[in-house]
Every structure is written in C-alpha cells, then in structure tokens.
Amino acid sequence: MVEMSGSQALIHALEKEGTTIVFGMPGGANLPMYDELTRSNIRHVLVRHEQSAAHMADGYGRIKRKPGVCFATSGPGATNLVTGIGTAYMDSAPMVAITGQVPRAMIGRDAFQECDIIGICTGITKYCFQPRSAAEIPEIVKKGFYLAESGRPGPVLIDIPKDVQQEVSDVTFPELIRIRGYSPHVDPDIDQVARAVELLLKAERPMIMAGGGVHISCAFHELQALAELLMIPVVTTFKGKGAFPENHPLALGPIGMHGHAEANKLIIESDVLLAIGARFSDRSVGKFDEFGQAMKIIHIDIDPAEIGKNKQVDVPVVGDVRASLRALVKMLTKRVAKKGGDCPWLKHINEVRESMKSVYKDHPREITAKKSLKKLRELLPSEAIVTTEVGQCQMWTSLFFDIIQPGTFFSSTGLGTMGFGFPASIGAKAAKPEVPVVDIAGDGSFNMTENSLAVTVNDNLPVIVFLMNNQSLGMVAQWQRLFYNRRYIGIDLKGGPDFVKIAEAYSAQGIRAQSMDELDKAIRTALKSDVATVIDIPIDPEEDVFPFVAPGTGLKDMITAA
C-alpha cells in the first residue's frame, strides 16, 4: 500500500497494464491526470477533436489486439467520444475511454460541463465505472482492461470526478481481480464440436462464412487449415474481409449488400454453412427469414447472446473461435484425409465464378474507382494495413481491393461511421509504424475528420489518404438515383475544399492524380514519403457501386446494374 493521488494511481495503473500511448485532449475536469502524464513515459497524442481520439484508440486496439486508450474532459469532451465508443462497441473493438467528471459534490447539479456520461454510454459499452475514491482506481483500471479485451472485446468507460483525481489516499494495486457474474466462454463444448464434424462430413455443398470473430481471435491459420482440409469454399462478412486470403483458390470474397456476386449466389446454394464469429447482420444476409431456409447452420461464437439472435441454427458452438477451430480440425483429421479439389460442388463454384466475371463492368472513364483500387493493390505491399471510410469508397473496397495477408484490413462495419477511417488509420500507424497504412476514403467522410492531418504531421504518424473524390455524398446520391427517381437533395459537395491545398496547409503532402499514369506515380511517391500524403483522385459523381443488394431484400434479389 502506497500513498498517492487518484491521478497518480490512474497513470501508474495504466503503466502496469502496458499502456504506452494515449490519444486525447485535456480540459478543466481532467487536468490532474494530464499533469501526472508529464511524469510518465506514456506517449500522449493530442487530437483536434475527441471523436478522433476514440477512433485512433479503436484503430490502435484492433491492430494490437489490446485496448487502445483515449482521454477526454467532462461534458462536451466526453460526449464527443460517444460516436467513437459506439463504433468500437458495434465492431467489438477493445478500448478503455477515460473521462474527467465534475467534482463529486457537483454531480447532479447541472454544473458547468457536467453530463451523465455513464448514463449515455451504458448501452454502448461493456461496462462503465465511476470511482468514488482514489483508492478504488487501481482495481477499476485492471477490471476495465480485463473486460475490454476478454471474451467478446469492446469499449469500457472510466469516468473520474476531478476531486477523486486530486484526492490523496493509501492505494493498493491488485495482481488478480474477480468480476462477479462475468465468465467469458473460451473452451468449446466438445460434444457440440463433434456434432459440427458430423454435419460437415455429410455435407455435399458446404460453405464457410468467416466473420470478424476470426480477426479478433487471430484464427487465420486455423481457418485456412480447415478450409483446405475439406476443400470448403470461404465467403466472409464485410467485417470478416481479409480473414482468409482473397487470392486463395477457395476464396469467394465478402457477401452482403455490396458483396461479390458469386459469393451472394453461392452461399444460398450451400447445404451446410459453418458460420464463424459472425452475427448474421442484415447487411450480410439480407432478409433474416429468407436466408438459409434450405441449409443446416453451424454457428461458432464466443458470445452466447449471438446464438439464435438473428438466425436459428442447428449446431451452436459457444467458445473462442481459435480454440473451437483447433478442436474441429483435430477431430476432422482423425476421420478424413485431405480432400481433393475435383468434387461437383467445387466444379460448380468455379463455373459460377467464371460466369459472374461479366457482372463487374467498369465505368467508361480513364480513371475510375475500380481501376484506382486495382492499381493500389498492385503497388501496395501485402503487409500494409488498410482501413476505409464509409460510403461508396467502402463498398468499392469490398469489391475491388483484395486483402492478401490476413489481419491487415478493418473498417467501421457495424455503426457505419463516416469520418472513422482517417483517425483509425493514424491509430493503426501508431500500433505498427513499420508498415504502410492507407485510408481508402471518399470526400464526404474525409471532410469530417480531416483536421487529424495536424496529428499525422505533428506526431510523426504518416499515413496515406487514398481519396476517391466525386464531390458528393456518393452513396446517398446512388440511392437517390436508384430509389428516388434522381430527386437529388443534400448530396452536392462541389465548391471545395481543395484537398491538395488542405494537405499542404497542414505541412502534409497533397497530390492530385487525374490519369492512371499520374496515380501510379502518386502511390509510389506516397509510399516513400516521410509525411502524410493525400492522393486526390477525381472520379465521376455518376459512378455507381454494383452489384448491390437493396435494403429489405434477400441475397437472391441482387441488382447487378442500374
């Protein structure tokens, strides 16, 4: 037991959890913890808006597979974090968000910059803490990190009143903690794994659907081993994109609203579907009651709440994805030898794949989203990390940018947060500075958080913004074209800003590429640059994303052209 202030206890507890970097902004209610940061080796990255602090912590956490940490003051500082916390919650990303709060005696009195951030965040966090004494802080921090990274990961909020940060008390740093009622499932039920084995061995048209749980559990090797053992084709959800190498002969790519045409067609023809770490979201499977009527479904997930939530399944396996796949592969190898690739199902898969090539028509211009992304893939090393903004840029990435090395791609897939990709890429760069990091962006999304260019320059975290600029909110415009008879409203972003000048104003590098030759040179220049680079690529506002499964319809209703 040692005597120290609450803020000292907080920073020391963060150090004990291995925290080396925090993303945040100081204010009146968190100055004591910031003052203590000056005596710590923890690196502080000053953001220009607290929403970006949460996204940076999110990106950092997804690459490190441990909680990213963000700081904000009370009131508006705390509420500015909310979109980022919600984004992390919907994508099961580990995060610890730490907010300052008004002094205990002022809580509930409408004090200056007071808000009930605990109440606001309860539905979008795994747990919220508000220590009422300095002595509570070490145990709460340890519990917060454990909750954020164990089981199904997610964000945890720790809201610390200012006088608790200043209070001096005898504190103890526990080595072990117990959380009553919390016991994340890790080991799968072997009987259920055995039932899954029987179904897979009897299947004539098996399919694997890999979700984000494969990324979280780092089960890439196990997934590939299973697919190759039984020669099972693999589709992914969008969150699972990159869980399986997309240049592998068994890869069919993402399913869903903007999934690959062959993946959307073939998944509903399968007779046994092995869903791994996926939640059967409407964006992936379309209409819940229509999807999977003629198939048996095996569902592996660490969160028992996901079993049967959106889709009733035949064999539930609750457990860590990696542990479950290992058990599955171990049982299967005792029963069968590695299968060959000459079965009728794989022959049909290849026939459909070939026939669907004609679906992917390109827009009639020299420089298009499809050509641009193919060029980026050609020049970018496979180990580079790629994230996206939200909108058409995200969907073009789903269709035309293959992830070769598992675990190198993430996006805001659940909440669909515009403005996420750029700050998240900065967090990813902080987590893995030795590889290139690219944010595939649209102008609408990039507009929302482009002030993080100051962070990339001042904190030496150079990333590449691959900006497909159609001077509009492209996805909304596409929906208004398709479903509202071209009655456009609220989508025109003409008139600026000039993104090359914006980049230069922040002392970053801005390059405009108006031909494929210029784009080739721009990518090569950006990869050699020591500062952030914005590559501004003007594209046609009328360029749409196809194929497309409209909201409220099933995968069989996929639209392949306007």
In order, the DSSP letters of 485-517 are TT---S-B-TT---HHHHHHHTT-EEEE--SHH
Burial class (CB in 10 A: 0-12, 13-18, 19+), 225: middle
Cβ atoms of 448 and 396 within 8 Å: the answer is no
CA–CA–CA angle 283, 286, 288 (5° rounding): 115
Cβ atoms of 545 and 390 within 8 Å: the answer is no
The candidate with the shortest Cα–Cα distance to 525, out of 517, 474, 91, is 517
Cβ atoms of 466 and 535 within 8 Å: the answer is yes
The candidate with the shortest Cα–Cα distance to 415, out of 149, 171, 82, is 82
Max distance between CA atoms of the chain, in angstroms, equals 73
**What one-character DSSP code corresponds to residue 363?**
P
In order, the DSSP letters of 302-361 are S-GGGTTTSS--SEEEES-HHHHHHHHHHHHHHH-PPP-S-SHHHHHHHHHHHHGGGG-P
What are the residue numbers of the active site?
50, 112-113, 162, 475
Pairing label, strands 168-171, 2-5: antiparallel
User: Which residues are CB-contacts of 304 (< 8 A; sequence separation ≥ 6)?
Assistant: 185, 318
Q: Where are the beta strands (DSSP E) in 176-246?
A: 206-210, 234-236
Q: Which two tokens stand for residue 312?
A: 């009733």
Burial class (CB in 10 A: 0-12, 13-18, 19+), 366: exposed
d(CA 273, CA 294): 10
d(CA 62, CA 67): 8
Q: Collapse the DSSP code of 39 into the 3-class scheme (helix H, G, I; strand E, B; otherwise coil) and give the result.
A: coil
Q: Which two tokens stand for residue 297?
A: 């479904």
Query: What's the gap between Cα 19 and its chain centre?
Result: 21
- Total count of residues recorded for the chain: 562
User: Which residues are CB-contacts of 133 (< 8 A; sequence separation ≥ 6)?
Assistant: 6, 164, 167, 169
